[in-house]
Amino acid sequence: MKKYFMVLLIAVAAFAVAGCTGQGSGASTGAAASTATVKLSAFAGSLPKNTPTGVAMEFFVSQINEKADGSLQAASYYDTELGDATSLVQGLQHGTVDIGVCGDSYYSGLVPEIQIYELPFLFANVEEARKAVDGPTKDIIFKKLEGKGIIGLCFWENGMRQLSNNIRPIKTPADLKGIKMRTLPATIQVEAWKALGALPTSIDASELYTALQVGTVSAQENPIAEIEFRKFHEVQKYISMTNHVYTPFCLSMSKVTANKLSPPQVQIIRDAAIAAQKVQRDAATSANASAMQKLIEKGVIIEEHPDLSRFKELTAPVYKIFTDANGDELLKMIRGS
């Protein structure tokens, strides 16, 4: 009988120890997270690995894996491996994608206010734009995004966008009239290009080269480095340096994923995102600087001084579309008024 009670006592003690260490339990949340390694997907949407964002994503993943000391295991995915940019945002909402980055327009269906950064000619240069997306407007937008199940980490960037086409040189908006053009999937963008006389349509970046090649659209707009990276110059003869819009890339984490992690694990991801932000922006700056010369050497005709005053004049009414729908608080914050 004594032997029986001794065995029972040992068994109870072992069970208690297992319970305290979390062994044998499923994924838990907050500070009580499991000691098991949590695997994370980090998806760059439709962006290839050899872009500034691809370089930064590799660094981001390496930082997580290094700092987490085995409690997190992140893996990176590129170029629509897990779907297009639209499905990326949906995946973040549902927890089927853990971490993702794509242009902020793809989030605009959830949080229309995020389009503030893409108002035409809002920023004179990249430095102004970075100051805005790192400032207090970011906190307001990220709070709204979290209400939709997505936790904003920080903004990377695609940069200042330029106009390309395969019909004729574009110096004034009149030159753009009637040209079928791919634009970003956001109301502000579509209305801006309509105001300039183009016929805009939304096409995912992963399908854009083919659409330009077969003539579904004849024009598009992207940062100069993106035009060179994606070889759009093979199907686009003309580029106009309009600098019409700055595009941030929103790096985000699924709230479903965050709820499975401990606060220190979430902080590791946040820290890695900010560290990778510098890597991404530095790489983007370098890429844009070298892309112009590469495109000139490849025979692209570049209009370096289009009539921006006329472009600005015609697109000014879209500001009212934004403020009527979302108020003017964010715009005033960015303008410092």
Domains of the chain in sequence order:
35-335 (3.40.190.170)
Per-residue confidence band for 302, with pLDDT thresholds at 50, 70 and 90: very high
Contact in structure between 277 and 56 (CB atoms under 8 Å)? yes
DSSP 299: T
DSSP 134: T
Q: Would the pLDDT of 79 be above 80? A: yes
CA 189 to CA 194: how far, in whole Å? 9
User: For the ranges 24-33, 90-99, 179-188, 226-235, which has the lowest average pLDDT?
Assistant: 24-33
Closest by CA to 40, choosing from 294, 257, 231, is 257
Alpha-helix runs per DSSP H in 68-97: 85-94
Residue 2: its pLDDT value, please? 39
Q: Would the pLDDT of 55 be above 80? A: yes
CA 94 to CA 254: how far, in whole Å? 7
Condensed to tens digits (0 to 9), the pLDDT of residues 134-168 reads: 999 999 999 999 999 999 999 999 889 999 999 99
CA 337 to CA 326: how far, in whole Å? 17
Residue 122: its pLDDT value, please? 96
The two three-digit tokens of residue 1, written as one number: 């009988």
Please state the φ and ψ torsions of residue 220, each to the nearest 5 degrees: -155, 175
Write down the pTM of the prediction.
0.82
